[in-house]
Structure 1
């Protein structure tokens, strides 16, 4: 309440009190002294009338007391007399007849004593009356506020001053009649469900009435000076079946309006593998959406955002924080970092991330399609390509003979040969670990030299046409001898051409032919030096040959071995090395 309002109330109370006092007491007049001349006249009259007591006029006593009598006469106060005539205060006395009176009539006249403090007692009575009236009024107002909220009371935003609990609840109920809730969803325009759609209504919980009961009626004056605000729970109810139908009819709940979430995935961008985050999509879980909307309505919320709760939507199975996905990124980034440089003599071949990346499969969005079997097959194919390009085993070579001829020699048992299984295993491990290295492939067979002519300059040359052999070491002849090769006219015994290497050497040994059914051999021949290089074919001494070289092989050829003079066989036995190519040709 403002100061002006307080002053106005005080002024009204003061005016009322003044009026009450005026109406109760009237105008207060000051007392007047008696007229000396009147006393003189009275005395004189008394003397002249002293002879006869009975002849005294009836109005003598009036003259003596100078006060109005009960009958007719003149009042000194100027008020009307008993007959209604008003006599002026200044009126002169008429001629008086003096009548003798008895001295007994001059007994002292006792005037009544004036009451003291009369005004004070009246004021006290008035004050008491005012207090009683005020108390009654206060009690009446207090009783009023046993059923009404104090001035300055607000409940749930409603001005509840001087209202009953029922009236307040009616206002709350009327507010509920206009209730509606806005539904927000992903990728959809907001929609509204009104209270009338779901029979939304207010239910009294008694809390408003309890607030009124907690109010102390005799403290109603505080309401004019203090504001009181309450927040009461507003109990509501609605038809759950109708709400469920409303939720199902929302646009966001329709399948044709929904987009399924997409998993996070690995993609190759700017020379590295990265995680592309998942997409949320808009595939709604209707049950969870209903629960959210129901709770929002129960709380009297004006809106609910379904997108704020991830549980209301179907989520991606694989998210960007997946440990497995991160491990995949790390692994494939190792693939991209891997660099294996193969050496083939002076030639090098490098396998790096750019090539490895091409072995991976990606869909139209760039998402990595993990297919370990396919990836491994790419590694197998790559190693096979290396072998095809650089293996020399099983290939023909152009060979320049000592005699000056150039011959083609097929080498099935000599040359470079990559161990493809071994190389696949090692390469797979190096790719996975991101290894950067320079090395040779894993070989199962090695040659003396790299390149197309891998024979190098250390080899044994056996000219089956000339029936002569040479041992070259670093391009120099360190051994040579006449020989006798297999019987030329017998395909079973003819020495086959090719490139070979020494299996082992043994001294002495026994050479045996085909084993017969009876357990014996077609032949058995002891030798001092045995050096096999092609199955059962090898170098050995042959002291039974009458001579070596020339045309001896045409008629007295061996079973396929290279027969040598015993001394030459012993010399070769001492110097021959493993992995030295043995080139046989016609």
Structure 2
């Protein structure tokens, strides 16, 4: 019995020793290999080394991109696969083993353990990576950009081409890219990494900067002027003002002996003449929408607008040469000014005399305020009322009109062109129709007295009068 007991004790001790030895062996084994039931990023890792798991995780990693952020905050991408950039999970895997090795593998016997790890570094073919960086459009543009500062002409004015400021240092950018990848960072902000720097200015560069400062000051002063053309306001934009500077064929700005910008008097006058061409109407023709529903062509005769080019040229040159930087709204000088200022110098208030229809209309602010039949000049005796755009240049009550063969008293006299005017005609009992062809006036516009009294009260001196057949 004693022998059996000793045998049993020895047997148990040997079994315990084997179990402890097995557990120690497994503990030692799992100190450098992943425990049972271990899954990382979807990869089965049991019994595998750090190197083996790392290779499988790299293989399982979906294709990704390195994001490069330039100084303008634009994102550019480099395909990792194209430049042989691979994630490295080694450090993360080693840390995982340190926390989960030894006897911790016993916990995994109950159920599988899944974990997610991120790469703490990336490895790459650095030559390919640099080539990928240099192939980005903004880097290629940077490499082609000239060094130095130059004021250049461009469409609508001038610009400063600054080849010294905020330049990308490609060597710093490459080193910073490697540094970021080595610590697992795939979004690379070049500005944050100090990859931009300024090149020193040469004497020539400093001169160009001084010229640019003068250009900015000049355009700022000039662009404070607004031309009040009536219904339109024309601002002298920086682009317009820049066009007043004297420049050579190559776009380089001309300086005087003191190094100051020179103003092109030819350009200033040219702009004033263009302004006059747009707004002058004296002697020209225009399309007019007649009340009868047709569009007629009528010539400006006594009415119209004409800018004083000489006065405006002198004004603008003086302002451009001044150091004043005050806002100014300028009403131009006119040789002749219409009742309305603007591209449409007739506007919405005018008298329309349709000699074919023998009708007269008075429009006030675009609304028809008066309509009446009339009798105009006798076309049968070649005394037809002349066509044209004229204006009311006077108003008079109780006047006697005299001519070679007539003397007529009128209560209301509104002359519009020489001795041609609008007046009442108490001697007539009928108006309109075709009376004007055989029994018309000597050229004036005969109007019923009651209608003439209304027109006289409403119309102002200067009002346009459009007369046509």
Q: Place the TM-score, normalised by the shorter chain, in its bin.
A: 0.3 to 0.5
Q: If you compute each CA radius of gyration, which structure gives the higher value, 1 or 2? A: 1
Give the TM-score of the pair, scaled to structure 2. 0.47
TM-score normalised by the chain length of structure 1: 0.38
